[in-house]
Chain A
Amino acid sequence: MQTTEELKAELIENFSFLEDLDQKYEYVIELGKKLPMLDAQFKKDEFKIKGCQSTVWLIPEVAETTISFRADSDSVFVKGLISLLIYVSNNQPKDDVAKLNTDFIHQIGLGNYLSPTRSNGLVAMVKQMKLYAQ
């Protein structure tokens, strides 16, 4: 199985084939559309992470030593970014997820969507992922 770091490298590689910002955004949106929607039953307050603009729902699936996530958002773009975060943390050792570094989003060329000053709910989502992994 690939490690978080290997998965990140794979994503960076995938995105490097996309020439401009438009293509990268299109790809993220594609991923966002593909990520399965959460059933209404999961869209409750305990899973809700409120951003200033969009809402994220994050559900952890915790095993003995590993963790995975399912998530959703009302913004497709945010959902695309979520799918990247889910991808690199899927079935990963909790320790690795607990110290997940999100610089790869920047390296992919998607700008600073995860910088702490962004108000899109993603920063809070990453924080919550780490908490669940502890």
Chain B
Amino acid sequence: MSFDVHKIRKDFPILSQKINGKDLVYFDNAATTQKPQSVIDSLSSYYQTINANIHRGIHTLAEKATAEYELTREAIKNFLNAESAEQIIFTKGITDSINLVARSYGGVYLKTGDEVIISTMEHHSNIVPWQLICEEKGAILRVIPINESGEIIFEDYEKLLSEKTKIVAIVHASNALGTINPIKEIIKKAHRFGAVVLVDGAQAASHLEIDVQDLDADFYCLSSHKLYGPTGVGALYGKKSILEKMPPYQGGGEMISEVTFEKTTYNELPYKFEAGTPNIADTIALRKAIEYIQQIGKQAIATYEAQLLDYATKKLSEFEQVQLVGTAKEKVSVCSFVMHNIHPQDIGIILDTEGIAIRTGHHCTQPLMNRLGLVGTARASFAFYNTFEEIDKLTFGLKKVIKMLS
């Protein structure tokens, strides 16, 4: 299929909106992506035609809903090139996936004096769950430093690794800087010391081809709402041998095999980790989002988004007052910047008057901002439905920012 952005935009109804009398320019895709019509239709169609609780019913609707729900699991398995669908656990999102691993895996396998390694550029949701479990277990959190471009310093990572390292938890692509981390090498090194690696794929899965087997990842976390799917759904991929030896995370319905007051035996994978009635409608709609992405093709998406990033980088660099934050060699389409003597929040407020939605602030990466000596940045993040003309509007908007604020 040839890449036609104007045709693609028609599939995203929200994009034709006016904001403050201007065409919406949606550059906040790293926070959440917009949804194609097929996803929106799937949600209402579910409630109109097959709504039923899944897995336990024997009536027709329950079977239909269950089948659709499991199709999404299958779709994610293919999307990540996982070995089997039972290794895909549905969660509420990345945060939930990481907490699951920290609690369930960390709860059993972390001992006093053990170490967990994360990086400086982690999102709070890949920091706090580890802090909590480390504190509880008397384990130590170690942090991989970054260089001025916003790349992890690999040699320092290697130095941190030791027999004490039990878990390495790292973001695949940084939401604040765009940096793509060398995940495959990171995993390879960690495995030499017998540590397991969890990858936060929030920002990577929508831009890059993901192959968990090729990466040899032990855990890989996905978030539907960053992938053109609904909010409140995510997935956790895990290696089967690891998932099998992990205890359940939450207790309740669905995750059990047999319950007596004396002892409960747990259901098999993946249900062992899926307590309670899940977010059925949104999970089903997520498959439509994945199909949409696959129909355009990750390769075509990556190529086009790289062009957008290059163009934006070039345009922003032309401003004397603008300083780009995050200039790694390998980046997803995230453009973070600061402006001389202008608070990021003020940039965002003025751009909003032009209908341009960007994100400003610390992007839930306060330790990273501290490391960079910034209170925050302004961040434009692009998706495949964005256009070069929209980047021109951003440039125009920034001229207005400068005119009004300096």
Query: B124 contacts the other chain (Cβ, under 8 Å)?
Result: no
Residue-wise interface mask of A (42-56) relative to B, using a CB-CB cutoff of 8 A (1 in contact, 0 not): 000000000011110
- Chain A residues in 8 Å Cβ range of B342: 76
Q: How many angstroms from the CA of A77 to the CA of B353 in the assembled complex?
A: 13
Query: A91 contacts the other chain (Cβ, under 8 Å)?
Result: no
Q: Which single member of A21, A78, A120 contacts B20 (CB below 8 Å)?
A: A21
Report yes or no: B343 in contact with A75, Cβ–Cβ below 8 A: yes
Query: B201 contacts the other chain (Cβ, under 8 Å)?
Result: no
Q: How many angstroms from the CA of A55 to the CA of B344 in the assembled complex?
A: 12
Q: Which residue of B lies closest to A51 (CB)?
A: B345
Query: A25 contacts the other chain (Cβ, under 8 Å)?
Result: yes
Number of interface residues, chain B, beta carbon within 8 A? 16
Report yes or no: A52 in contact with B361, Cβ–Cβ below 8 A: yes
Q: How many angstroms from the CA of A99 to the CA of B344 in the assembled complex?
A: 32
Q: A22-B353, A25-B349 are in contact. Are A53 and B344 (CB under 8 A)?
A: yes
Residue-wise interface mask of A (12-41) relative to B, using a CB-CB cutoff of 8 A (1 in contact, 0 not): 000000000110011001000000000000
Query: B360 contacts the other chain (Cβ, under 8 Å)?
Result: yes
- Chain B residues in 8 Å Cβ range of A78: 345
Point out which of A26, A52, A76 has the most chain B C-beta atoms below 10 A from its C-beta.
A76
Q: How many angstroms from the CA of A120 to the CA of B375 in the assembled complex?
A: 13
Residue-wise interface mask of B (353-382) relative to A, using a CB-CB cutoff of 8 A (1 in contact, 0 not): 100000011100000000000011000000
Number of interface residues, chain A, beta carbon within 8 A? 15
Q: How many angstroms from the CA of A77 to the CA of B401 in the assembled complex?
A: 11
Point out which of B20, B343, B350, B353 has the most chain A C-beta atoms below 10 A from its C-beta.
B343
Query: B346 contacts the other chain (Cβ, under 8 Å)?
Result: yes
Query: A103 contacts the other chain (Cβ, under 8 Å)?
Result: no
Q: A26-B404, A29-B405, A75-B343 are in contact. Are A53 and B360 (CB under 8 A)?
A: yes
- Chain A residues in 8 Å Cβ range of B375: 53, 55, 74
Report yes or no: B343 in contact with A25, Cβ–Cβ below 8 A: no
CB distance from A20 to the nearest CB of B (A): 9
Q: A52-B361, A53-B361 are in contact. Are A75 and B345 (CB under 8 A)?
A: yes
Report yes or no: A77 in contact with B349, Cβ–Cβ below 8 A: yes
- Chain B residues in 8 Å Cβ range of A52: 361
Q: A53-B344, A76-B405 are in contact. Are A21 and B353 (CB under 8 A)?
A: yes
Q: A21-B20, A21-B353, A25-B350 are in contact. Are A54 and B404 (CB under 8 A)?
A: no
Q: Mind listing 28 A-B residue pairs with CB under 8 Å?
A: A21-B20, A21-B353, A22-B353, A25-B350, A25-B353, A25-B404, A29-B404, A29-B405, A52-B361, A53-B344, A53-B345, A53-B360, A53-B362, A53-B375, A53-B376, A54-B343, A55-B375, A74-B343, A75-B343, A75-B345, A75-B346, A76-B343, A76-B346, A77-B345, A77-B349, A77-B350, A78-B345, A120-B345
Interface residues of A (CB under 8 A from B): 21-22, 25-26, 29, 52-55, 74-78, 120
Interface residues of B (CB under 8 A from A): 20, 342-346, 349-350, 353, 360-362, 375-376, 404-405
Q: A75-B343, A77-B346 are in contact. List 5 more A-B contacts (CB 8 A).
A: A21-B353, A25-B350, A25-B404, A53-B375, A54-B343
Which 10 residue pairs spanning A and B have beta carbons closest together? A75-B343, A53-B361, A53-B345, A75-B345, A77-B346, A54-B345, A77-B349, A74-B343, A75-B346, A76-B346
